[in-house]
A = this chain, B = another copy of it.
Amino acid sequence: MPATLRDVAERAQVSMRTVSNVVSGYTHVSERMRTKVLAAIDELDYRPNPVARTLRTGRTGMLALVVPEIDVPYFSELARDVIDAAAEVGYRVMIDQTGHDHERERQLLTGEDRTMLFDGLLFSPLVTKSELLDMHGATRMPLILLGEHDFDGRYDHVAIDNVAAARDAVGHLIETGRTRIASIGSQPLEEYSTPLQRSAGYEAALADAGVDLRPEYVVTAAHYSRADGYSAGRALLALDPRPDAIFCFSDLLAFGAMRAVFDAGLRVPEDVAVIGIDDVDEGRYSRPSLSTISLDTQFIARESVRRIIDRIEDPALPATEIVAPHKLVVRESTAVE
């Protein structure tokens, strides 16, 4: 049976008030009292009960980070940075993965879950915006959207300019002389906003260069996985004329696509150039190393944690949008000659 504040008070012959003062940052406690209390705490091996403290103060000191899949490198690298940024300001992070399951997203958003022991929600969503608004409406849980854009200014979000990112990637392929540019990553059924935006950027870049969009060059991917990149890549290589470049909506898709190119007996970048988005560590060591659009996960993590803490402290704050920077990183997979 763990010791409580009352036990310590009895043991030290002082009031609970004094013990509490000592425990939670000294505010005017005499030296005699303090040592007496500390001794009692030590003897009883007392630790404050965080749940009771939470009930009283209304703060759990915990944030939730919700991502589609934690084992996708982009999200695990983001999680790493979020955990670190949160730790710096005294918060811990609960992670949940929705696994492309709308129902699980909905439960978190509506607060329907029975274990919502956190002060705020960092949400990297699949759902489209209108659905989101309806779901979250009733709750008062502070919420920051990650990686999204254009939510009518009704929510805080730390966004990526997905249209520009895709445009930069495809623009690079065009600059290096490729003209038959395929893409992998648009969504088969649902209208998720990230792939929609990246599709828009792809189309815009082609239009800018006066290159026709060939519908057969646009291959969908249900998940942003290596496996889906591989099968999409195989499909593209069977086309005639064969693409001379592939823009993948994520690095993971790109790794799969590159492997498909090799298995077809072709070379990257000589026969087919490949570029991704995310800039995960893997791409620096893959063969060939992967050209990509680098998204600044540290920036996203820091800003979103900063922002949600502001909002927890003042729920009335107006919603803001912060756009994280991105930049083109040229490596071997799009080299010329």
Residues of A within 8 A of B (CB): 2, 45, 47-55, 60-62, 69-71, 73, 76-77, 79-80, 83-84, 90-97, 99, 111-117, 138, 140, 225-226, 230, 255-256, 258-259, 262, 281-282, 284-287
Does B60 contact A117, Cβ atoms closer than 8 Å?
Answer: yes
Question: Beyond the given A71-B76, A93-B95, could you list 19 further A-B residue pairs with CB under 8 A, ordered by the A residue number?
Answer: A2-B140, A45-B138, A50-B115, A61-B117, A62-B117, A70-B76, A71-B79, A73-B73, A91-B115, A92-B94, A92-B113, A95-B95, A226-B281, A226-B285, A255-B286, A259-B285, A262-B287, A286-B287, A287-B287
A-B contact pairs, 28 of them (CB 8 A): A49-B55, A50-B115, A50-B116, A51-B55, A51-B117, A53-B114, A55-B55, A62-B115, A70-B79, A71-B73, A71-B76, A71-B77, A71-B80, A79-B95, A80-B97, A83-B95, A90-B115, A92-B94, A92-B96, A92-B113, A92-B115, A93-B94, A93-B96, A95-B95, A226-B285, A255-B285, A256-B285, A286-B286
Q: Which residues of B contact A262 (CB under 8 A)?
A: 287
- Contact in complex: B94, A62 (CB < 8 Å): yes
Q: What is the oligomeric copy number?
A: 2
CA distance A48 to B285 in the complex (A): 50
The residues of B that contact A282 with a CB separation of less than 8 Å are 226, 255, 282
Ranked 6 nearest A-B pairs via Cβ = A61-B115, A76-B76, A71-B80, A94-B94, A71-B76, A259-B285
B48 pairs with A51, CB closer than 8 A = no
> Which chain B residues border A90 with CB–CB below 8 Å?
115
Return the chain B residue nearest A116 by Cβ: B50
